[in-house]
């Protein structure tokens, strides 16, 4: 099982969006290197709930759902990196063997204006939902005579490109890794996963215009090609999709 770890966790506590937040220090012992980062927070919360930690009334609020890298809910800055020190994984897939015994670990919520803090480590990412509502969908024939998707020929390279874009889980790591707080990687993945496929061509023009306009309206910054988003994306989404989206955007004015 490996040597159990003793860690010093400096965790951001903030009661709500109106009050100021601060780092609070917690000492946790007997952490298995095979446990996940979220399990360590569970362990600490259990101690808080059981009054084993003095003068601490409420457990640490953090987001999670699937705990297997699918839903994108578990979004934390850990030691200054979105999703922590490992690559191509989400926070829920991060294991404590990535840390040294005695290490100090800083845990913070996403820091971006379009993701306001709700409490402690939880932020409001509904700005992403509003971008999706503005155009992230396809028209489906519900007349009772739908076309079988398998009857539409799609070349392998296009199918692969659309699939690679569709694995974006909307966690927001791309935004908080970017010095401009740009959401271009997220929006471009969503635009591409639909617009590359024949089923998504109907709203192609409207989709890119609406989603890019909504992204700007929500207060996300511009892309200056530093590729920090690609470097920190837990799903390895390529910035090539940003180029594709830019072409789609220009094309929407010319056809
Ligand atoms: S909890 Fe779903 S991706 Fe981490």
- Relative to the CA of 93, which ligand 1 atom is closest? 4
For the chain, domain boundaries:
5-119, 126-254
Label residue 1 by pLDDT band (50, 70, 90): low
> Does the structure show a pLDDT above 80 at 74?
yes
Q: Is 72 in the pocket of ligand 1 (CB under 6 A)?
A: yes
| DSSP string computed for the chain | --PPEEEEEEEEE-SSSSSPPEEEEEEEEEE-TTSBHHHHHHHHHHHHHTT-STT--SPPP---SSSSSSS-----EETTEET-SSSS--GGG-BGGGS-TT-EEEEE----TTS-EEETTEE--HHHHHHHHHH-------SS-PPPGGGS---HHHHHHHHHHHT-----HHHHHSTT-B-HHHHHHHHHHHHTSGGGSTTHHHHHHHHHHHHHHTT-B---S--HHHHH-TT---THHHHHHHHHHHHHHH-
Instruction: State pLDDT tens for residues 215-247.
Output: 999 999 999 999 999 999 999 999 999 999 999
Among the residue ranges 81-90, 158-167, 194-203, the one predicted with the least confidence is 194-203
Tell me if domain 5-119 and domain 126-254 are identical in fold: no
Label residue 146 by pLDDT band (50, 70, 90): confident
Q: What is the overall mean pLDDT for the chain?
A: 95
Give 163 Cα–ligand 1 centroid separation in angstroms. Answer: 20
Name the closest-CA residue to atom 3, ligand 1: 69
Label residue 255 by pLDDT band (50, 70, 90): low
Mean pLDDT of 186-214: 95
Q: Is 71 in the pocket of ligand 1 (CB under 6 A)?
A: yes
Question: What pLDDT, on a 0 to 100 scale, did the predictor assign at position 149?
Answer: 73
Q: Is 118 in the pocket of ligand 1 (CB under 6 A)?
A: no
Name the closest-CA residue to atom 1, ligand 1: 67
Question: What pLDDT, on a 0 to 100 scale, did the predictor assign at position 195?
Answer: 95
Question: What pLDDT, on a 0 to 100 scale, did the predictor assign at position 143?
Answer: 78
Give 4 Cα–ligand 1 centroid separation in angstroms. Answer: 25
Class of domain 5-119: alpha beta
> Does the structure show a pLDDT above 80 at 197?
yes
Instruction: State pLDDT tens for residues 102-129.
Output: 999 999 999 999 999 999 999 999 999 9
Q: Is 90 in the pocket of ligand 1 (CB under 6 A)?
A: yes
| CATH no. of 126-254 | 1.10.1060.10
């Amino acid at each position: 099982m490996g040597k159990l770890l003793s860690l010093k966790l400096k965790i951001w506590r903030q009661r709500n969006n109106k009050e100021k937040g601060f780092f609070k220090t917690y000492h946790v012992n007997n952490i298995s290197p095979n446990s996940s980062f979220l399990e360590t927070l569970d362990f600490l919360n259990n101690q808080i709930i059981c009054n084993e930690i003095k003068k601490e009334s409420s457990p640490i609020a953090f987001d999670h759902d699937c705990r297997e890298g699918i839903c994108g809910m578990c979004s934390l800055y850990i030691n200054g990196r979105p999703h922590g020190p490992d690559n191509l994984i989400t926070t829920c897939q991060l294991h404590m063997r990535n840390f040294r015994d005695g290490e100090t670990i800083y845990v913070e919520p996403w820091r971006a204006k379009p993701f306001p803090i709700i409490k402690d480590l939880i932020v409001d990412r509904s700005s992403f939902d509003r971008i999706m509502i503005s155009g992230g969908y396809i028209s489906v024939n519900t007349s009772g005579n739908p076309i079988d998707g398998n009857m539409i020929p799609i070349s392998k390279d296009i199918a692969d490109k659309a699939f690679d874009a569709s694995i974006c889980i909307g966690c927001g790591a791309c935004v908080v890794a970017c010095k401009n707080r740009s959401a271009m990687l997220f929006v471009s993945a969503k635009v591409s996963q639909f617009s590359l496929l024949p089923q998504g061509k109907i709203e192609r023009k409207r989709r890119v215009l609406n989603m890019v306009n909504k992204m700007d309206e929500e207060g996300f910054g511009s892309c200056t090609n530093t590729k920090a988003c690609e470097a920190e994306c837990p799903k390895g989404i390529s910035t090539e999709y940003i180029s594709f989206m830019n072409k789609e955007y220009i094309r929407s004015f010319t056809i």
